[in-house]
Chain A
Amino acid sequence: QKEVEQNSGPLSVPEGAIASLNCTYSDRGSQSFFWYRQYSGKSPELIMFIYSNGDKEDGRFTAQLNKASQYVSLLIRDSQPSDSATYLCAVLQFYFGTGTSLTVIP
């Protein structure tokens, strides 16, 4: 069983729509969760981190954590073409999902 699982996509949404990215993890004791964005051929960069159950908002991005369900999600509101990238879910620095490819269609 993989430590972190994500739908690989690709996920396509029209410009201005909400993109929803999902991630599940296997270790119930995990405490720290990160979302990174990776443009093609580039290195990942942090979008958000979340430690507590519930929602955390930063601009157009909202991270949601449900420890009981071992589920983390990232919502991108008012999606822009510049959001087109692969989004990686991570538990601490040790376990990454395979990433979800997002394309925002103008």
Chain B
Amino acid sequence: SQTIHQWPATLVQPVGSPLSLECTVEGTSNPNLYWYRQAAGRGLQLLFYSVGIGQISSEVPQNLSASRPQDRQFILSSKKLLLSDSGFYLCAWTGALGTGELFFGEGSRLTVL
């Protein structure tokens, strides 16, 4: 069966520090991968998605970046965090063929101080 893992689960970072969140999917090949952010009291905002290794589409211009170095690995990064980067970050995958249902990781809660 397919599983998705995301880490770290919680982190507290100072403004201006770097960020790296990692996500891996097991049990499937060539998934579509997504990064979302959910700020307090707001819906999910799609940040990046990827349909293949090295292919990244950015939905929202910001100080974040994403990379997909391997088929089932998706990384969200920042060189310098802002206060507004605080939120609940979710990685998700869909099959290349399927219903379009998103399968989410456990989430990473980021607090920038």
Residues of A within 8 A of B (CB): 4, 6, 32, 34, 36, 42-46, 49, 88, 90, 92-99
Minimum CB–CB distance for A50 against chain B, Å: 10
* Residues of chain B contacted by A44 (CB below 8 angstroms): 44, 90, 102, 104
For this complex, 29 residue pairs linking A to B, each with C-beta atoms less than 8 Å apart, are A6-B43, A34-B100, A36-B102, A42-B106, A43-B90, A43-B104, A43-B106, A44-B44, A44-B90, A45-B104, A46-B101, A46-B102, A49-B99, A90-B44, A92-B100, A93-B32, A93-B34, A93-B94, A93-B100, A94-B46, A94-B59, A95-B46, A96-B36, A96-B44, A96-B45, A96-B46, A97-B43, A98-B42, A99-B43
A53: min CB distance to chain B, Å: 18
A34 to B36, CA, bound (A): 16
In the docked arrangement, what's the CA distance between A2 and B102, Å?
21
**In the complex, B27 has a CB within 8 A of chain A:** no
Interface size class of B (residues with CB under 8 A): 20 to 34
In the complex, chain A residues whose CB is within 8 Å of the CB of B102: 34, 36, 44, 46, 90, 93
Contacts of B105 in A (CB 8 A): 43
Distance in Å: Cβ of A22 to nearest Cβ of chain B:
15
* A44→B36 CA distance, assembly (Å): 11
Q: Please report the number of residue pairs spanning A and B whose Cβ atoms sit closer than 8 angstroms.
A: 50
Q: Please name 10 further chain A to chain B contacts, defined as beta carbons within 8 Å, in addition to the given A42-B106, A95-B46, sorted by A numbering.
A: A34-B102, A43-B107, A44-B102, A45-B104, A88-B44, A94-B46, A96-B36, A96-B44, A98-B41, A98-B42
Chain B residue numbers with a CB within 8 Å of A97 are 43
Which residues on the B side are within 8 Å of A46 (C-beta)?
A: 101-102
- Compute how far the CA of A93 lies from the CA of B91 in the bound complex, rounded to whole angstroms: 12
A88 touches B100 (CB 8 A): no
The CA of A49 and the CA of B41, in the complex, are separated in Å by 24
